[in-house]
Amino acid sequence: MSNSIAQSNNQIHVGWESPSNIALVKYWGKYGRQLPRNASVSFTLNTAASRTFVGLDGNNVSSQIEIDFTFEGKQNDTFTTRIEKFLSSIADEYFPFLREYKLKIDSSNSFPHSSGIASSASGMSALALCLCDIEYQLGSIQERDDAFFQKASLIARLGSGSASRSVYGTMAVWGQHPNVLASSDEYAVDIAANVHPVFRTFRNDILIISAKEKSVSSTAGHHLMEGNPFASARYTQANDRLSSLLVALANGDLATFGKITEDEALTLHALMMCSDPSYILMEEGSLSVINKIKAFRKQTNIPVYFTLDAGPNVHVLYPSEFEAQVSPFIHSELKPYCHEGKIIKDSVGPGPKKIL
Ligand code: DP6
């Protein structure tokens, strides 16, 4: 490469904002190189997001990946090591430029670090989009088209499975499933066009029951599924539930949506409780809030439901048209169970945005 081209490439600097997502049918169990044991589907969120900037920062003369990584403007050794390892694992196959240039990366989250919200889905999808964008700017690919997002989803998946779904707005399915056209274990697909309008503006208020770091990571949880005696029944169940949920999503069938979503959240936590060693990530507050949501629904007939990710925090899901009734309920009945009264009001969103 001539020096002048190398120098102009060093001006390349890109930025993407990418949201978190909340799974309705959960990915829980993986094998091989980040491949899911069952297909999963999620709502893409709007407010909870990561903003990542990546710039080429001079030529890399060593054969090792070299990055200067900052999180919210500050050096962070744990993240640096994790990202260097990740980039080394994908460089030769997917992004040869990573061995030619040093990289400057800065990332930040819209949600507070101590909120207990996992940032791997938003962070890894934002990073994957930046890497694909650099490849585009370097001229190796021609357009930011479907293939661009498909590659971003695949790269995000290699970083963290659930991140594959954050590349698309509204809703995405990751994992091969007979009822989802073009679905794949390698990357997620956009299913927004097959979703009834009621779900496109769904509310998702995140009740922060605890801001503590989880005692068992999701990655360790996935591995524990390998010895779980219910594993194979679980994978069949997840794929069956996804079939039924897809019909409910298309028809705007809130009751079926709610039943499957809640059953999935409880199954996820039940699987943790019957792993060996067993563990519990729900807290007393999580259970109290779940019972209050069920009682409120029974009393008012308002379609408000819950889900949980692999932690104690509870996501409250309801159609936007019921916000005026649900908000006061959350405020008076559920907020007292939240750590420092913390609630992140979020909703289904349009997906990642290019910010530089
Ligand atoms: C419970 O995607 O965080 O949120 O692939 O090991 O990074 P790794 O795991 P991760 O697992 C997410 C698990 C979940 C369910 C889901 O998002 O589908």
Task: Report pLDDT for 215.
Answer: 86
Read off the CATH number of the domain in which 36 is found: 3.30.230.10
Question: To test ligand 1's pocket by mutation, which of 222, 260, 275, 307 has the most ligand atoms within 8 angstroms of CB?
Answer: 222
- Clarify whether residues 164 and 85 are in a common domain: yes
With helix as H, strand as E and coil as C, how does 256-305 read? Answer: HHHHHHHHHHHHHHHHHHCCCCCCCCCCHHHHHHHHHHHHHHHHHCCCCE
Task: Report pLDDT for 144.
Answer: 84
Task: Report pLDDT for 3.
Answer: 53
Pick the residue whose CA is nearest to atom 5 on ligand 1: 161
Domain count, the chain: 2
Q: Which residue has the higher pLDDT, 116 or 165?
A: 165
**Confidence check: pLDDT of 184 > 70:** yes
> Is residue 100, in this structure, part of any structural domain at all?
yes
* Range of lowest pLDDT (1-10, 30-39, 314-323): 1-10
Counting residues of the chain whose pLDDT is more than 90, the rounded percentage is: 88
Task: Report pLDDT for 150.
Answer: 98
- Clarify whether residues 66 and 38 are in a common domain: yes
Pick the residue whose CA is nearest to atom 7 on ligand 1: 160
The last residue of a domain, from among 150, 170, 196: 196
SS3 106: strand
Ligand 1 center–CA 276 separation, angstroms: 19
Q: For ligand 1, say whether the CB of 122 is within 6 Å of any of its atoms.
A: no
> Is residue 356, in this structure, part of any structural domain at all?
no
Q: Which two tokens stand for residue 257?
A: 């949506």
**Confidence check: pLDDT of 97 > 70:** yes
**Confidence check: pLDDT of 111 > 80:** yes
Task: Report pLDDT for 106.
Answer: 97
Task: Report pLDDT for 4.
Answer: 58
The last residue of a domain, from among 196, 215, 247: 196
Task: Report pLDDT for 140.
Answer: 79
Mean pLDDT along residues 324-348? 97
Mean pLDDT along residues 201-222? 93
Counting residues of the chain whose pLDDT is more than 70, the rounded percentage is: 97
Asked whether the CA dihedral 20, 24, 28, 33 is positive or negative, the reply is negative
> Is residue 353, in this structure, part of any structural domain at all?
no
> Is residue 136, in this structure, part of any structural domain at all?
yes
Query: What is this structure's pTM?
Result: 0.96
> Is residue 242, in this structure, part of any structural domain at all?
yes
The last residue of a domain, from among 196, 219, 241: 196
**Confidence check: pLDDT of 55 > 90:** yes
Q: How far apart are CA 325 and CA 338, in angstroms?
A: 20
> The domain containing residue 341 runs over which residues?
200-347
> pLDDT tens digit string along 114-150?
666 778 999 999 999 999 999 999 987 778 899 999 9
């659930």: which residue's tokens? 162
> Is residue 354, in this structure, part of any structural domain at all?
no
